[in-house]
Amino acid sequence: MNRLFSMIFVLLMLSSCKTNNGTNDNTKDELRSTLMALKGKGILFGHQDTYAYGYYWNDVEGMSDVKRVTGDYPAVFGWELGGIEKGVKANLDTVTFDNIRKYALKAYQQGGINTFSWHPFSPINRADSWDTSTRVVEHIILGGKYHEAFKKDLDVLADFLNSITTDDGAKVPFIFRPWHEMDGTWFWWGINSCTPHDFIELFRFTVSYLRDAKGMDQMLVAYSPDRNFDSLEGYLKWYPGDEYVDVIGMDNYYDLYTDGLLDDAIAKLHIVIDYANQTGKLSALTETGYENIPDPTWYINKLGTVLNDSVVAANISYTLVWRNDPLKHFFFPYPEHPSAKYARQLLEQKNIWLLNDLVEFKKDR
């Protein structure tokens, strides 16, 4: 009888480990397993800052432009960490870090997946990420004059991400996407501002320090160059190595709104997918969109064409469109915008998943 009670107790304890999102999706390995399991079944749709603000609204409880148009939230929730390293209250897009913590926890508890980008201010002079007037990377990697300053920035970043926990203290898992679009010219870690060797050292140190020194065992890492490659060799030019990466990604705006380049976008995603499959990793269209959506049919005719390519549809885990600033710009339509009906058409397709689709999938696993 005592043995029976012991077995019942263990089973109850195991069941209590499940979060209220329908699955014990509370470690990076379980997050990876979920994303792997949905391959070929659905592509998760994501939106940056979806809880934080939207077209002519800011920080309204329960609001999201995606939900206003579709009736559901995105399945992937993107958040920005730029500014955390300076010790300020809000990120470079004016969202407070207290709110980001709250939003990320809410997304997780509702069954969604969080991904974090980071556009840091330089450890040398606190110039923003788009200031390429000073070479930074060579001075912050191991052996550089500002390496210790960079480590302090990583300490602050890690302390914040490790503070996103459930009521019982469990750390919320997420995808971290550092140093993205390194093959472009616009960031101080980009192609004109550092060598591939130094970039790889930067990426490797960032991941190793966060995982090993800061105990961030809840983190999957994404590698996401921009569209400036046409071969596997070109794609891997900046690649830090398989042990540092979990998600093989690509950011691509230009090919998806420029006439005649959709085939290029698809071909590049095939390169991404092939390498992910060779190495047993996840693949994703990690960032895309069309600012202010001047082509109302963009969602169905451009993004939809890419996502419904047979190879893409069978392999990538998610895509994410950029943010809807309250006054400046938007990448997902608001309800009155002419593109709203086309976005809704795409997101109503069986293979494009929003939050409720993901939650139901996890319940059935």
How far apart, in Å, are the Cα atoms of 26 and each of 17, 224, 286, 332?
9, 24, 22, 29
Residue written as tokens 């009521």? Answer: 167
User: 304 CB contacts (<8 Å, ≥6 apart)?
Assistant: 345, 346, 349
- Contact 342/299 with Cβ under 8 angstroms? yes
253 is in an annotated binding site: yes
Whether 11 and 3 have beta carbons less than 8 Å apart is answered as no
Reply yes or no on whether 148 is catalytic: no
From 148, 287, 291, 336, the catalytic residue: 287
Which of 181, 336, 348, 360 is catalytic? The answer is 181
Q: Cα–Cα distance between 45 and 63 in angstroms, integer?
A: 17
Q: Under a CB-based contact definition with an 8 Å cutoff, are residues 130 and 186 in contact? A: yes
Pairing of strands 57-58, 53-54: antiparallel
> 């939207």: which residue's tokens?
54
- Tell me the C-alpha distance between 265 and 269, whole Å: 6
User: Cβ atoms within 10 A of the Cβ of 254, count?
Assistant: 14
181 catalytically annotated: yes
Write out the two tokens for 154.
């990583």
118 is in an annotated binding site: no
Residue 56 labelled as part of a binding site: no
Q: Which positions are annotated as active-site residues?
A: 181, 287
Binding-site residue numbers for substrate are 119, 186, 253
Residues tagged in the binding site annotation: 119, 186, 253
